[in-house]
Homo-oligomer: A and B are copies of this chain.
Amino acid sequence: MIRTGYKDVKNHILSQIRKNIWPPGSSLPNEVDMAVTLGCARATISRAMRELVDEGVLERKRKAGTKVKASPTRRAQFTIPIIREEIEKNGATYRYDLVKRNILDAPDWLSSRLSLPKYNRVLQLRCMHYAGNAPYQLEDRWINLSAVPHAETFAFKTLGPNEWLVKEVPFTDGSLEFSATNATPYVAAFLNLPENAAVFTSERTTWLNNQNVTYAKLYFKRDYKMTTFL
């Protein structure tokens, strides 16, 4: 081995774990020792271990040292796709359609979910996303006009609110929920599904400095699967 890089160190650690030389819960050598053993700088060991912590393999505490996680709760990363890109990546033609556009005071359920004051005006949008001619996703979108006033002047006839927001409005925090829901007649009609079909559903809320920007509920096409790797 000519040079020991941080990737070599990561592989070394992982292989020791797989060989059960460092079983779950056990302690690893400290950074200085391991640097000597492997013949590299301490910073190299440090980076390797830091990344393994990010990946959920190790745990570190000052003074206590570095240990193999007892229950290796691996972390998975997934990227939230822009729907146009997801569809086009699969070789289909993306088509967007605005179904409804409406300005109103936020209904109660929305106000409480987003901590909005009473009589807060919101822009409601319903949109369909198609892959070729097949329905792909129904988007139920609410935009807080107090936070994003210039959304009111945008038509959303050809560009979807997701893409528009992503380019126009930055955010600081957000949450994402996934669940399964039975298709209401309304949803079923748009997605061309039998009533009560199981629909993969995603709800997204985003915030900019403690002010809510938008809430969206997305209903995916039949048999949609979200995939990620470990």
Binding site for B on A (CB under 8 A): 17-18, 20, 24, 56, 71-82, 85, 163, 166-167, 170-182, 196-201, 206, 208, 220, 223-230
Out of B24, B75, B179, B181, which one reaches A167, CB within 8 Å? B24
Chain B residues with CB under 8 A of A175:
227-230
CB pair A75–B73 under 8 Å, yes or no, is no
A-B contact pairs, 22 of them (CB 8 A): A17-B170, A18-B172, A73-B79, A73-B81, A74-B79, A74-B174, A75-B79, A75-B80, A77-B77, A78-B78, A174-B230, A175-B229, A177-B228, A178-B225, A178-B227, A179-B200, A179-B223, A180-B181, A180-B198, A196-B196, A197-B198, A206-B230
Chain B residues with CB under 8 A of A56:
79
Also in contact, A179 and B75, with CB within 8 A (given A18-B170, A198-B198): no
Out of B17, B79, B178, B198, which one reaches A199, CB within 8 Å? B198
Q: How far is B9's CA from A181's CA once the two chains are assembled, in angstroms?
A: 42
Q: How far is B227's CA from A108's CA once the two chains are assembled, in angstroms?
A: 23
CB pair B72–A226 under 8 Å, yes or no, is no
Least CB distance from A10 to B in Å reads 13
Out of B75, B173, B228, which one reaches A229, CB within 8 Å? B173
Also in contact, A80 and B73, with CB within 8 A (given A174-B229, A178-B226, A201-B180): yes
CB pair B176–A227 under 8 Å, yes or no, is yes
Measured CB to CB, the nearest residue on chain B to A180 is: B180
Chain B residues with CB under 8 A of A77:
75-77
Least CB distance from A194 to B in Å reads 9
Q: How far is B230's CA from A77's CA once the two chains are assembled, in angstroms?
A: 11
Chain B residues with CB under 8 A of A167:
24, 71
Out of B17, B71, B163, B201, which one reaches A82, CB within 8 Å? B71
Out of B76, B198, B199, B208, which one reaches A176, CB within 8 Å? B76
